[in-house]
Structure 1
Amino acid sequence: MKFTIQRDVFVQNIQHVSKAISSRATMPILSGLKIVAFDDGVTLTGSDSDISIEAFIPAEDGDNQVVDIDKPGAIVLQAKYFADIIKKLPESTVEVSINDQNVTKISSGSSEFNLNGLDPDEFPRLPEVEEGNSFQLKTDLLKALIKQTAFAVSTAETRPILTGIHWGMEEGTLTCTATDSHRLAMREAKIEGAKEDTDFSNVVIPGKSLTELSKILDDSEETIDVTVTNNQALFKAKNILFFSRLLDGNYPATKNMIPTNSKTNVQVDAKKLLASIERALLLSRDGKNNVVNLKSLGDHTLEITSVTPEVGKVTEEVACDAFEGEDLRISFNGKNIIDALRVIEATDVTIQFTGAMSPFIMRPADRDYMLHLFSPVRTY
């Protein structure tokens, strides 16, 4: 194998694929990055037990010659060293070649490295994804769906199913849901052109996988192909294949958790509420006490307080745009509210309370495709 490639393009694609490579791989071959040179370009592949990523670098990009292939071939190189080497090479082009003993020479300008390679035939094959439920959506919409739900997944391995985001498709509407049992984030999106038979109800994709996918994708309106099977999800973007295993088990019936009525409805400026709660938590920097107390004062005003006994107390009033129903007094985890307000992308939010010890809902005031559900905190 021998080829010359533009270094910047090489670095970018190596970074994409490296997101699938674990430094704690159970098989030595999986700590490596597979490189295959074809006549029409170079393919890079990384994999672990959860995700596999393949990036294709075409020889030509429009009128730009990106890769010159002298001799096709394949090799697996230790990703940890290879990525750092390519990033720090001095010139704008890199030459990669291997000899019969799998020793790989990497040269750029006056710099030359020789890395011991591994047999590419030992590298696991990419998952075979049969045609299952397939649909397309815009890349920027997919990134929004991930951003607005992934933060709410559980980080505890005691209930592995909650470390994933639940995807359901029904009548052309994709619903993404994440919960850690204390809060819930749900986002819906109408999928234009979805086939009538595209219908699934228990697809759970690891939150970490979707977060890594989001980092790879550019903000654009280009479409991405999504295929869901019994144990894999495949995301196919321009020159990128991203495979994620699905989590086993049944996701909780989250729709049953969402209250259908309320005793108190509040509409408030999202930025003002966010800033107020952030200030309320300034005295709890160690993160041990994120409890915020909220009560209505009448005249469309809310009082937000937070007490850290060994430090002090914060009190602030926030004006509401609208207030309907019973007087209110409730305590909640302020950090959870902050996380939601940072992704909700709305000028005003509506909050529906059902009682001091009952879960409450927050959603954008001007749209109904997103909601956040929070459990209150008992303070006595």
Structure 2
Amino acid sequence: MKFSCEKSAFLDAISIASRAVSTKSTIAILEGLRLTAADTLTLSGYDLSMGIRTQVDADVLEPGEIVLSAKLLGDIVRKLPNDVVYVETDDKLLTTIKCGRSVFNLVASASDDFPAMPEVDAACEIPMHEKVLKSMINQTVFAVSDNQAKPIHTGCLFELTDGKLTVVAVDGFRLSIRREMLENAPAEDMKFVVPGTALREIERILHEDGDSVATVCPGEKHILFALGKTTLVCRLIDGEFLNYNAAIPASFEYTVTADTRELITCLERVSLLVSEKLKNPVRITFDGSVMKMTCITAVGKSYDECAINGSVDPLEIGFNSRYLLDALRACSDDTIQLSIKGALNPIVITPTEGEKYTYLVLPVRLKADA
């Protein structure tokens, strides 16, 4: 095998494919990247649950295929000068990497033992702009559960109905929903659950600028995401996802609006006393057209307030500040709507117009003497 390519392009491809590489595995070859030189250069990483394959422009003089340690290869290429990288492997798998005056000699592994990624037999394809898919993941994946007792909730539900794609995440304390009407969506309805770990990697790969199109290809057991020159494959999660529509209260006592940035800023200030060791809730007292926020921990007390449009009779609700902040930061509008029912009922955050997103955060039961 013999090829050359620009250092920056090579390093980008290594970084992308390495996201699917096992850092510590009993199967040593899973800690490596498969390099396949043919018409172009393809790098593949696969940890048996998620696989990433990406292509990079290269001048291939001799085709071939080897496996190199992902960490070592990444470390070497990262430190090379900004020039063309030359890679050559002989019959005994001795691999030489040259760039400028730098030369490295590594022993590669044969690619025969590298596991093949699953083939996804997709019945249909869902095309969508990369920036839309990135936005939908970003605005929901923060609420994915990390509790393995309910594996189905460690992923996001993708539900396609009448051309509208809905992405949902839930972790038992909060619920995030993001909706989008798609152009050229397939006619049939479908739903599937994608692991949150895979979605976080997809979000990092996707571009938020431009009009590039990503293609989502759900199969029976696996799903494929085609993202430009990169392909990600992962196993879908089986199980019965939460009936998220039933979790949202049908009616509310109060509905008010607030400036998103001002609300976030106030909540961030009050939450400065909260830490991993001091996970005290933030007390929010609705009093007319003001939200009064208080937090009391062992190190002190904080107070701030935020004006709202609308009026609420005196009502005190406690919240985990991180959960509430995650939801508020995911809102893409300058002004949001807050729907409140009671001290022990969840708060629901929606846009002032439309239904692009819905965030539900459960309250924390407050101690009377706190």
Give the corresponding residue for 2:138.
Answer: 147
Among residues 262, 282, 286, which one is paired with 1:292 in the alignment?
282
- The amino acid of 2:207's aligned partner reads D
1:207 counterpart = 2:206:
no
Instruction: State how far apart, in whole Å, the 2-side matches of 1:321 and 1:262 are.
Output: 16
* 1:289-328 superposed matches below 5 A: 289-298=279-288, 300-308=289-297, 310-323=298-311, 326-328=313-315
TM-score normalised by structure 1 residue count: 0.93
What's the CA shift for 1:326? Answer: 4.4
CA distances 1:205-235 after superposition (whole Å, capped 9, x unpaired): 1111111111112223211111001211111
Q: Where does structure 1 lack aligned partners over 5 or more consecutive residues?
A: 59-66
Q: Does structure 2 conserve the Cα–Cα contact (< 8 Å) formed by 1:351 and 1:360?
A: yes
Instruction: State how far apart, in whole Å, the 2-side matches of 1:260 and 1:287 are.
Output: 36
What's the CA shift for 1:260? Answer: 1.2
Q: Does structure 1 conserve the Cα–Cα contact (< 8 Å) formed by 2:40 and 2:56?
A: yes
- The amino acid of 1:56's aligned partner reads Q
What's the CA shift for 1:290? Answer: 4.0
Give the corresponding residue for 1:109.
Answer: 100
Q: CA RMSD in A?
A: 1.4
Give the corresponding residue for 1:28.
Answer: 28
CA distances 1:218-254 after superposition (whole Å, capped 9, x unpaired): 2232111110012111111221111121112221212
* 1:178-257 superposed matches below 5 A: 178-197=169-188, 199-201=189-191, 203-219=192-208, 220-257=210-247
Q: Does structure 2 conserve the Cα–Cα contact (< 8 Å) formed by 1:90 and 1:109?
A: yes
* 1:1-380 superposed matches below 5 A: 1-38=1-38, 40-58=39-57, 67-197=58-188, 199-201=189-191, 203-219=192-208, 220-286=210-276, 288-298=278-288, 300-308=289-297, 310-323=298-311, 326-380=313-367
What's the CA shift for 1:306? Answer: 1.3
Instruction: State how far apart, in whole Å, the 2-side matches of 1:26 and 1:231 are.
Output: 25
Number of residues of Structure 1 aligned to a counterpart in Structure 2: 366
- The amino acid of 1:322's aligned partner reads G
What's the CA shift for 1:6? Answer: 1.0
TM-score normalised by structure 2 residue count: 0.95
Q: Where does structure 2 lack aligned partners over 5 or more consecutive residues?
A: none
Instruction: State how far apart, in whole Å, the 2-side matches of 1:326 and 1:259 are.
Output: 19
Matched position secondary structure for 2:8: helix
What's the CA shift for 1:111? Answer: 1.5
What's the CA shift for 1:285? Answer: 3.0
Q: Does structure 1 conserve the Cα–Cα contact (< 8 Å) formed by 2:286 and 2:313?
A: no
Rate the CA distance shift 1:364–1:153 in 2: closer, same or farther, 3 A.
same
What's the CA shift for 1:91? Answer: 4.7
What's the CA shift for 1:372? Answer: 0.4
Q: Does structure 1 conserve the Cα–Cα contact (< 8 Å) formed by 2:33 and 2:68?
A: yes
What's the CA shift for 1:358? Answer: 1.4
What's the CA shift for 1:315? Answer: 2.1
Percent of paired sites with the same residue: 33
Give the corresponding residue for 1:62.
Answer: none
Q: Does structure 2 conserve the Cα–Cα contact (< 8 Å) formed by 1:264 and 1:327?
A: no
Q: Does structure 1 conserve the Cα–Cα contact (< 8 Å) formed by 2:122 and 2:220?
A: no
- The amino acid of 1:313's aligned partner reads K
Instruction: State how far apart, in whole Å, the 2-side matches of 1:358 and 1:218 are.
Output: 38
Matched position secondary structure for 2:136: helix
